[in-house]
Amino acid sequence: MLREKIGPIMVLVATPEMMMVISLRIRADDVAATLAGLERKWRELDPAHPFSFSFLDERFARLYERERRTGTLLLSVAGLAVLVACLGLFGLAAYAAGKRTKEIGIRKAVGASARSIVVLLSKDFTRLIAIGYLAALPVVFWLMGRWLEGFAYRTAIGIGPFVAAGLAVLAAGWLSVGFQSVRAARANPTDALRYE
């Protein structure tokens, strides 16, 4: 129903003999008592047909169930992908810091601050994260557009979610790389020079 356009509709005033469906708005105070009263009245007016009811909010919820399941699945897969990517970045940062131990030791020995070393080690990873994000952006934009095409009434894709996702990816990358960078920056420079 969400994926179909609303067509023209005609509402007729029916005689009691033609009445099969009634839409009512009821208070949520005592639903059971209200339904019991409606059932009594229905049996009084039309004993030939059984009384059955459904709630509109539940019917609307069923319409969105597929999208809710898809969203949950995609969120789980995306979370797992981000976790694996962060673990990979963490390992890559540890390897890069290990390969640059002597350079870090010399920089610290000549007076470089821990902050400048963290920036030095994080700069390359920030560039790689930005390139990866920019490479994925057109694919994600296209996929979202294709998903929204299935709906009869849809909204345009704004830039806000993409900016938020980019900042989240960058923050996750910095957290992954930052731990190794800070550890390498705080290491004793003499130990680093002896390492080589």
| Nearby residues of 43 by Cβ (< 8 Å), 6 or more positions away | 51
Same domain, residue pair 175 and 105: yes
Whether 6 is in a domain gets the answer no
Q: What does pTM read for this prediction?
A: 0.62
Identify the CA nearest to 91 among candidates 182, 28, 176: 176
Residue 19's pLDDT is what?
Answer: 61
Domain that holds residue 24: 16-61
Residue 17's pLDDT is what?
Answer: 58
Whether 141 is in a domain gets the answer yes
Whether 5 is in a domain gets the answer no
Whether 8 is in a domain gets the answer no
pLDDT digits 0-9 by tens, 154-184: 777 888 888 998 999 888 888 888 877 787 7
Name residues of the chain where pLDDT drops below 50. none
* Residue 143 amino acid letter: L
pLDDT digits 0-9 by tens, 97-123: 778 777 877 887 788 888 888 888 888
* Backbone angle region of 136, left / alpha / beta, with phi > 0 → left and psi within -120 to 50 → alpha: alpha
Number of domains in the chain: 2
Residue 194's pLDDT is what?
Answer: 62
